[in-house]
Structures are given as structure tokens and as C-alpha cells.
Structure 1
């Protein structure tokens, strides 16, 4: 692999009596498809990166400029940086296993170099760059042994060519917006959520911008092109976020490392399959993870916003979980006001008598949220968490859903991670709602099984808008939000909530495979599942929600998407259509092992939106997968190896 590392430092020129020194260095990915170049002029101009992508003999300048730099309260690490040295290029090579997600066996493999700079005050800044087969990651290091500072600004900014098409979500603290596709004169100037998807003007290269390993020493960031239309600058949280609680600018203590700035890059299939955000995150330190058990969950809130307040409703959803062979049911808000036949303890006893494990909702509490729903503040302090987790452990509760964070300031990042540390001590699984998008934490804290941070099926309760926007939105999420980590969309609803859906039953069934979440909450009311024909009902009784492998077979954001996911030796294929016309797909099955035949059960759209068509066939790697999708339609299939 070392033969694939190219490292060049070039250029010393003399003009008249002045000395102008320019340093350029290029680091290449192991497969030689991605090149990242750093340039430092040594003058009053900031250092910057460029990224190229090569495939099929064609090279594309994917990102023409990434500005670099930090501004501390008493130090400038941007202008007048002096190149000092480059370290010896090294190979990062690590294998690890994920407990949940899109892929079981992971490879953290890259070429890395550390470049040292001094600022005008002769203080050191290191830039760590990694080139992966599926992208680039870079971070800042301040290696001095002591000192505490405020980071007033981070100057990292991605210059994007105007003809590059981009799919971006306007910034909101809950990360629950819709994506807008833009290019050229349609590009809007806003603050934007992570992740952001881009396709170069020649269509040859796709890349996704994000960050990873955000920890207690920093805040979460977002992207902003308000100052310059073509430049997306990393931007700290708005001081008003979280009701104005906490500082927007993070404080750091040396030695210090920034989060990784992550660029997932390649074909669209490379982007969808990438685990780069988790690959660069720290490994888990949990010695025993046998208690981390992802699974499917019945959930009453979507069909009845006050469902957990009613003991009988809670029991009906426990019965649903048992009938569908799902291991969990969630008691959402108002469990502390439960009545109509029983209280919380009665419900927990009933749930566990059915062989189902309960999960419970909490308000994150504190002055950072306007929401006063109870129980509030039981997660807010270490002492409160220890008391509550002790009680939950005694009651047989397997995990907690914690809601309404409303900020990505440094104090809130610390709060998230404090919750995860305490939960691990009590072997309590966790998922966050009204929250940050994944930053690689599911690797470091594998008991963090999912996050919301998505406009999901709950929005059918919030107004009529989602009825018409959901079909397109659903085809964008597998290329954007769900690439970077688990996503609690709460999918697969056949009946209607407060506002109807116009996606077909086949479309809804497909979401159980298309959307990945360590806790997959299937949101419909019991009769929505009981009334299904045998084939889709059986499918939902056995569909996995953790995967050994994921492949994009076909698709384009906003139009359609087809994924194949493997669990053991069994493959699941699912696809959806966003457009107002029927489509026929004929997809080669070359990804299947060459020596195996499969029994194929295909559950596709029938004659109309609420009808299924189920067919059975035999296939192998030499065949094709043929299916028809209605407008806003979809399908799901299981391919079981034949003996």
C-alpha cells in the first residue's frame, strides 16, 4: 500500500531581492482515485486545500479550494502561517466490527500525512490529512502542552463551482427540514445543515460534506454561504440557540484536536455505501456490549399523539409487537400521566409478560428548551441520571429516548456525551430526538442506537405539507441524511395519521429496508399491520434492521432509489419512486455470489396505491431483477439462498 503514497513538497523561487516560498503537497488515496493538495504560500495569503477525483481515466476538480485556519482569542492561525515540515506519510489500517448500521465489517484504511506550520507568534499548528478510497478527512491540531483559549472562529470554507448541483437543508436546530436541489443562478444563500450533497458539473463526481468526532472540546458546526455565495464556511452555533443558554464559541485546552472535517467522495454508490463518518471516530471503549440489542419497535405516538397516556393503548401496542415478532415497544411522552386501567408499573408488567422489552421517553429538560412536557430534568444532571437509570434498570426498561436538545453548542455536546457515559454504566440503550445529526458517535458509543434529526413520518401530524413532499423527500434521504448514521424516520405507515399520505403501500413497505436505524420504529396503528396480506405481513415480521452490507443498485436524489442490503446470506432489495409516472426497473444481479441460486419473494405495487402484487421466482447472479413501480410507488423483495 505504501507504494500508493505520493508526497511532494516543491518550490522555492527568488525574485529580485525578495524570497517567495510556496509549498505544495499532494496526498493520494490507496486506490489512487482521490488526490488532495495543500498549498501554503508563506505570505499574507491563507493556506488551502484542493481535491481531485479520478475515475475511468477522467480527472475532475471536485473542490477547487478549501480555505483553512483558526482564530483564537489571542492567536491567528490563518494568515502568515509558515510551513515548517511535513511528517513522513503513514498508512492508517484498522479493521473493526459495528454492532448496527449499514455494514458489519468495517475498514478504516487511508494514507495520512501531518503538516506542521508556525504562526507569526511561532506557535505550532498541525494539519492532519487523510486520503481514503471513499473520501478525505482533515483536522487541526494544536500540540502545545498547555494553555486554554476561546476559538473565536474556524475559517474552514469549501468553495464550490456554481455548476455543481447541490442538495442542502436550511439550518434548523432540530435538523428536520427538507432538501433543496440547486445549481448556478438557483443557488440560495443561507445557513445549512449537515450533511450536504454535491454533484460536479460534469456529473463525474459526487461528494458529501460532514464532520465527525465532535467531542467535549468543541461545538457542532454548520455551513454558511451568506457572506459569499460560492463558499460554504464552517459556522458556529447561533448564540440564540437553546434559548440563549451556553456559549457559541468553544473553549479549548491544549493539547487539542479539532473534529474531523469529512468529505465522502466517489460515485453515488460509493457515497451511499460509505462508513467514513464512523471510520474516523474513536473506537468504543465498552468492554461488554452484549446488552446492545438493536431491533424493531412498535410506537403509538404517530397514530395517537396521547397514546401513552392510555393504559389500554399501551397494551395494544405491546400486543402488536408480540404479534409481529418485534422485540420492543416505546412508551412515549405522558407515561407519567397514564390512566384508563393502569399506571406505568402495570403497563411495564403487561409489556414484559408478552416477552417484549419497554423503551421510555424523556424530556432533555433544562432551560435550553421551551418544552415543559414531563418527565423533565431527570436526565439533566449526573445525579438525576443515576437515580433514574437505577430505577429503570429495576423496572426492566431497555432504553431511553431523550428529546428536545435545540442546540449544538459546546455545553450541549458535553450533555449528550455525559448522558451516553452514564447510560453505559447501567447498560441502557439511548436514542436522541430533536437533536444533532450523527457525528460518528455510534462507533464510540455503540449503545447510541439511533437519532431523529430528520423530517420523518411524524410530520404527517404537523400539517398538510408532508403529504405532497414526502415522496421526493424519501428518495433524497438515502443519499444524504442516512448516509452518515442511523435515522429514526419512524417509517412504514399504511393507514393515515392526521394528514394523509399519497405514497403507495409498496412505497411504505420499502422504507423498512431503505431507511437504516438501530431502533426501527414502525409507526402505524395495530390494524394497519394486522390487515396486511400475508406476504407483506410476513416480510415485516422478519425484516432485519442491522445489515452486513449495503449497495446502491440504482437511483438519483429526488427521483427514485433502489438499495440492496445483505443480512447473513440473505439479500433484501427495496426501491421507491418519487415521480408522477410509472417506472419499470431491470437491474442486473451481478452482486450476488456466482455459485448460489436464490428464492425471490417480490412484493410490489399492485393495480392501485393500496394494492400489493406478490410474485415468486428463482434467480442467480446471471439474471436481472425486473419490477414495476407505480407513481410514488415502491417494492420490497427478499432473496433467500436455496439449498
Structure 2
């Protein structure tokens, strides 16, 4: 070979190396072949990218961690790859579908760091979902690993717009109780927009990649094994980086990094991809890649609950008011009454036991509110210091079981550090021992918990209905918020929004304070759109005489357990149409989050040719609220049906 040819070849090889062409590449595709993940190393750093229908939906983004046993983010050397199929058929009682058939192709890529210690990155790729995590084997003389930083990144194309909720500063807000996933979403924002507090964004994170489709990023499988994570602000070179909790969370107590025994693995990072919003709304990836952590101690019951506090507030935790709510629940055929904070002071334990007996005689069970503190924040409501230690917790739960209490709502957690995630796990596990279901408020995003913990019901982790009471601004925003969550917060996990509100004014007399800005049918449809196996229907005794009979009849029968969910139409923050199946009966619910009438031509193949009940509204010039009505009609043989919604209104179609 002559010198000039040798020099040209060397130059080509150098150029190829500098562009990553000589890097080790491994690919895995979804079963239908449309979603492809490519993993490669560049100068000792590990990257992945994601393509859907041949379009790069996630640009090369870094992988790796920095740990006490070594740096697994640079100077990595490829060792091996293995592939196999994943099949998992399972059932859920408390999610958007009851029977799920998970099929994915799995690729595990092994690299070694500078110390010759291996890290395995495992990718599961199903037809619209990517889930990946880091796995670590045994290391001589090491029993565990401490991860100080993840280099995990998500770098989206430049045309991407965002639908994100910011992470708040720690120890701010009411009684220093934040962060609690209760910030406002901003729709259709550029990636370059800075988060409100400069602390990035809470999961889940929704992205619109223009004509190329939609991407939802989140995580699942987090419990006491890891802190809850979030995304950083956007950086043009790195994209969004995974961030651990802030130092100041939990009033500065506890480590912000992660630790777990080895062999072991991190939680899963998830990416859901679709050319439309259908895969985003219908995804089950949060549950697909996790496993149950224990068996249910009994068959837990779904249902509806009434809740005095939302409108009647703190002073309603007394015996007489709660007795009224029990009577209301019994009249409506509801399964539960939630007795909120201060019940220990206003009613007392002996009379709570009496209330529980009264409720059970009427076929109703009580759920009780508890403050999780502790020392995480300054929230003063009682009962306190009953859920933060195992001794106190088991004593309290033993008492609850003895009087027939079937559920708890635990409020005011202090952040996402690992010891707080362990507290969630401990509360759930102990509650299961006593046959108690659990709702969390003032809390983190649940991450696969519906499958992991059989007595888990739902979490708030959202700017919820209480804010429509506190501020007229949020009453006006309810349409936007409830048409946002089916595409992000509520699609990855059950959400305790806290009430289908039937009072027209935010007051006990239903005449004063600010009004509700949504229609009656909007609120009724929200009971279907908002997903949780125990759903709050925030009715009050006055509603029984104020509401039309067709509304009461619908609310009496509305289910909360779903066998199937289908996305029909919608756009985040503007409108949404979902179809949910309960047994052999379909419910199609539509919400209009805008201030203008909206007509839609729906495709409802599951109801083609069927006679249905259609709940609709007509404008009422004499009232703030449109008039609701119900009529029998037929869906076209082709499955087509036209609906019209009033501003901040709704529609329901059901068999």
C-alpha cells in the first residue's frame, strides 16, 4: 500500500471514529417494528436514541451513573449484548384496563468502567413504549451501591413543544409543605422556556414533536429502593437531564442520592411514543415492567365516596355533619365516606367508632384522614404522628380495623428523597396487614403502585379540586386542568382529583362565594374521565333536591372500575373524549375545557348501531349554567355520532 493511500485510509478511520461511526451499536425494535432504540458508545460515553416510523423522536441522549463504587458514565468499554422476548399477561383491579397483555423485545447491553466493573442497561421496547434501567451485579466486598448522580438524558428535536408542570422550591407554600406536585401546567411552550422555579419539571412530561408525533416521559417502579426523580430545565446540548431531589426537601433531612443492595437495579425510565395521542392516553407501561410486592390480605372494594371537607371545610369533621354524609352516601348507594382532618378533635375516637357502626348498618364504610408528619413540614392538622413510625402506625391501624374503617387518606409528605419513598411503601404494606386501602395527598407521583401494592388506590399529586374552592382563578381553570390530565398526570397513574363537584357555588349554602365555571354534565363526565378505583363524587345533601333526576340517576350508577380504555379525540388543555368499558357497557365521556361551544364528529365503533343514552346541554341565557338533558338516540351503523358541548361543558354517551 503506498503512503498516500495509507494516509487517506487513516484519515477516513479517524474521521469515522470522531463521528461515532466505529462505535459499538446495538438495536432493538418493538414487536411491530415501528419503534426502534439504538444504543452506542462514543469516546467511552454511552448514548441511546429512539426512532418511530423512521423518524428520530429522541435524539442521541446520554446514559450512565456516577456511584460510590465507580464512575459508569465515561471511559466505558463494550462487553456484550443479549436479547429476548418479554411476555406478561396480568390483571389489575384499579387502573385504566383490567386485563393487560404485555409484549416487548428486551435488549441488555453490558459495559465495563475503568475499574472493570460492569453496568447493564436493559431496554424493553413494546409497540409504543420504551422502558430502560441500570442493573448492577455483585461486586467483591460490596453489599450495596450508592448512586450520587444519573447522567440519564432526554434530548428531543428542536421543533418540540412542551406540556410541563414545574418542580417547586422546597419548603415553600402553605405551612412549608411543598414540593407536592401541585403546580400549574403550561401548554404548548418552547423547550427553551425556563421552569417557574428554575428547578426543572415533575414527571410525567409531555412533548409534542410537531408532525412527528407525541412523547411522554416518566418513571416507574420507584418505592423504598430509590428517590423520586424529575427532569432538569432544558439544555440545548444535553436535552433534559434526570435530577435527584433537592437538598432542602424534607426540611433538609435525609440524603438526596440513591442507595440499594447489589445485585440490584434502578427504577425504570419510560418513554411513550405515538404519531397521535392515542398511545399516550392508553399506555400501561407504568404497570407493565413492575411486579406485585405482596399479596392482598383481602379482596379490596372499588367505589365512590362523599367528602364534606371540599365545600364545608375544616369545621365539618364533627359527628352531626358526618352523619349527614353517611346518610347521603347510603341514599346514593355509595360505598364510602371520607372523614377529613380534625376528626379526632371535633368528633373524637369513641364517636368515630360509633359513626363507623352507624355507617356499616347502612352499607357504607368510613375512610379516615391522617397527617403523615412527622417533621417534614409545619402542617398542623390532626391526627398527627400516627403514620410516620411503625409502632404508632400499627397501633392506629389495629384500632381502625377493630371499628370497621376500610381506608385512609394520608396527607402532607415532605419531598421525594428515598426515605420518604420508603415511608409510602411502609404505610401501604402495614395497611394491607389490616385490610386498609390507601389514598395519598400532598404527595409524590405514584410510580407503578397500582400493580406493586394491591391496597393502593390513588394519589393527589396534582393541582386538585380543593383549589377550585380556595381561588376563583382555579375554578375558572378547571376546564383546562381536567382536559390536561388525561394526557399526562392521569395516564401514568391513578389520580385523586378530589371531587365531581355538583354544588354550583363554592359554599355550604350553595349561594355565596364564587361560582363553579363548569357545567353539570362536565362534572358528571369528569367522573369517567378522571381515573381512580375509588372516586370522589362531591355531592352534598342539598344536591338531592336541587339536581335534576337524570343527573342524580347517572351519579348514583357511575362506575369507577374499568376493563378497557380507548382514546377517541382531544388535545391537551382544550378538550378530551375517552371511552371506558365497565363489564359489557361502554361509557363515552367528553369534556370541553374552552370558553367556546365545541361540536365533534366522533368515531365510536364499539357502539356502532347501538341505542344509547346521550347526556347533553343547551345554552341557557338566563343562567350561568347550560341546561342538561338526556335522550335516547342511535349511533350510526358506521359508528359515527355528532356531539355538541357548551363552553366548559361536557357530553356523555352510554349504553
The one-character-per-residue Cα deviations of 1:345-397 (angstroms, maximum 9, x if unpaired) are 23222222221011001000111121121111111111111111111001000
Contact 1:162 1:230 in 2 (8 A): no
Alignment-derived partner of residue 180 in structure 2? 174
Identify the match of residue 160 of structure 1 among 156, 162, 170.
Answer: 156
Alignment-derived partner of residue 26 in structure 1? 27
For the residues of structure 1 that align with 2:11 and 2:110, how far apart are their CA atoms? 26
Contact 1:338 1:344 in 2 (8 A): no
The secondary structure found in structure 2 opposite 1:293 is: coil
Alignment-derived partner of residue 67 in structure 1? 62
Alignment-derived partner of residue 611 in structure 1? 627
Contact 1:161 1:230 in 2 (8 A): no
Residues 383 and 338 of structure 1: CA distance in aligned 2, closer, same or farther (over 3 Å): same
The secondary structure found in structure 2 opposite 1:574 is: strand
**Structure 1 alignment gaps of length 5 or more:** 1-12
The one-character-per-residue Cα deviations of 1:439-463 (angstroms, maximum 9, x if unpaired) are 0011010210111111121102322
The TM-score normalised by the length of structure 1 is: 0.92
Contact 1:138 1:260 in 2 (8 A): yes
For the residues of structure 2 that align with 1:358 and 1:476, how far apart are their CA atoms? 31
The CA deviation at 1:403 is 0.5
Alignment-derived partner of residue 38 in structure 1? 39
Contact 1:493 1:528 in 2 (8 A): no
For the residues of structure 1 that align with 2:455 and 2:592, how far apart are their CA atoms? 34
For the residues of structure 2 that align with 1:293 and 1:340, how far apart are their CA atoms? 27
For the residues of structure 2 that align with 1:102 and 1:506, how far apart are their CA atoms? 22
Alignment-derived partner of residue 171 in structure 2? none
The secondary structure found in structure 2 opposite 1:487 is: coil
Residues 347 and 17 of structure 1: CA distance in aligned 2, closer, same or farther (over 3 Å): closer
The one-character-per-residue Cα deviations of 1:76-132 (angstroms, maximum 9, x if unpaired) are 101111000111x10000100001111010122100011100001111100001111
Contact 1:300 1:307 in 2 (8 A): no
The one-character-per-residue Cα deviations of 1:135-173 (angstroms, maximum 9, x if unpaired) are 100000111243434311111011122311210001132
Alignment-derived partner of residue 355 in structure 1? 363
For the residues of structure 1 that align with 2:315 and 2:614, how far apart are their CA atoms? 34
Alignment-derived partner of residue 612 in structure 2? 600
For the residues of structure 2 that align with 1:184 and 1:338, how far apart are their CA atoms? 50
For the residues of structure 1 that align with 2:13 and 2:400, how far apart are their CA atoms? 75
Alignment-derived partner of residue 148 in structure 1? 144
Contact 2:160 2:191 in 1 (8 A): no
Contact 2:297 2:432 in 1 (8 A): no
Residues 84 and 206 of structure 1: CA distance in aligned 2, closer, same or farther (over 3 Å): same
For the residues of structure 1 that align with 2:372 and 2:437, how far apart are their CA atoms? 15
The CA deviation at 1:571 is 0.5
The CA deviation at 1:523 is 1.9
Identify the match of residue 524 of structure 1 among 519, 532, 539.
Answer: 539
Contact 1:52 1:61 in 2 (8 A): yes
Range moving further from structure 2, 501-510 or 233-242: 501-510
Contact 1:460 1:500 in 2 (8 A): no
For the residues of structure 2 that align with 1:284 and 1:615, how far apart are their CA atoms? 47
Alignment-derived partner of residue 418 in structure 2? 410
The one-character-per-residue Cα deviations of 1:381-425 (angstroms, maximum 9, x if unpaired) are 111111111110010000111111121101001111011111111
Alignment of 1:515-554 (within 5 A): 515-554=530-569
For the residues of structure 2 that align with 1:25 and 1:79, how far apart are their CA atoms? 18
Alignment-derived partner of residue 8 in structure 1? none
Identify the match of residue 624 of structure 1 among 640, 650, 653.
Answer: 640
Alignment-derived partner of residue 6 in structure 1? none
For the residues of structure 1 that align with 2:544 and 2:128, how far apart are their CA atoms? 39
Alignment of 1:3-22 (within 5 A): 21-22=22-23
The secondary structure found in structure 2 opposite 1:456 is: coil
The CA deviation at 1:216 is 2.0
Residues 620 and 391 of structure 1: CA distance in aligned 2, closer, same or farther (over 3 Å): farther
Identify the match of residue 187 of structure 1 among 188, 193, 197.
Answer: 193
The CA deviation at 1:186 is 6.0
Contact 2:297 2:435 in 1 (8 A): no
For the residues of structure 1 that align with 2:425 and 2:483, how far apart are their CA atoms? 32
Range moving further from structure 2, 487-496 or 535-544: 487-496
Range moving further from structure 2, 526-535 or 293-302: 526-535
Alignment-derived partner of residue 4 in structure 2? none
The CA deviation at 1:530 is 4.1
For the residues of structure 2 that align with 1:194 and 1:228, how far apart are their CA atoms? 20
Alignment of 1:125-524 (within 5 A): 125-145=119-139, 146-172=142-168, 173-184=179-190, 187-189=193-195, 190=198, 191-202=200-211, 204-225=212-233, 231-266=239-274, 267-286=276-295, 288-290=297-299, 292-339=300-347, 343-495=351-503, 496-497=505-506, 499-524=514-539
The CA deviation at 1:589 is 2.1
The CA deviation at 1:501 is 2.0
Range moving further from structure 2, 527-536 or 471-480: 527-536
2:74 is the counterpart of 1:79: yes
Alignment-derived partner of residue 7 in structure 1? none
The CA deviation at 1:529 is 4.6
For the residues of structure 2 that align with 1:115 and 1:512, how far apart are their CA atoms? 44
Contact 1:194 1:437 in 2 (8 A): yes
Contact 1:34 1:133 in 2 (8 A): yes
Residues 342 and 320 of structure 1: CA distance in aligned 2, closer, same or farther (over 3 Å): farther
Alignment-derived partner of residue 89 in structure 2? 95
The TM-score normalised by the length of structure 2 is: 0.90
The secondary structure found in structure 2 opposite 1:550 is: strand
**Structure 2 alignment gaps of length 5 or more:** 1-8, 169-178, 507-512
Residues 341 and 441 of structure 1: CA distance in aligned 2, closer, same or farther (over 3 Å): closer
Residues 17 and 553 of structure 1: CA distance in aligned 2, closer, same or farther (over 3 Å): closer
For the residues of structure 2 that align with 1:50 and 1:399, how far apart are their CA atoms? 44
The CA deviation at 1:17 is 10
For the residues of structure 2 that align with 1:116 and 1:274, how far apart are their CA atoms? 28
For the residues of structure 2 that align with 1:34 and 1:80, how far apart are their CA atoms? 29
Identify the match of residue 558 of structure 1 among 562, 568, 573.
Answer: 573
For the residues of structure 2 that align with 1:186 and 1:227, how far apart are their CA atoms? 8
Residues 128 and 186 of structure 1: CA distance in aligned 2, closer, same or farther (over 3 Å): closer
The CA deviation at 1:469 is 1.7
Contact 1:460 1:499 in 2 (8 A): no
The CA deviation at 1:339 is 4.6
The CA deviation at 1:289 is 4.2
The secondary structure found in structure 2 opposite 1:93 is: strand
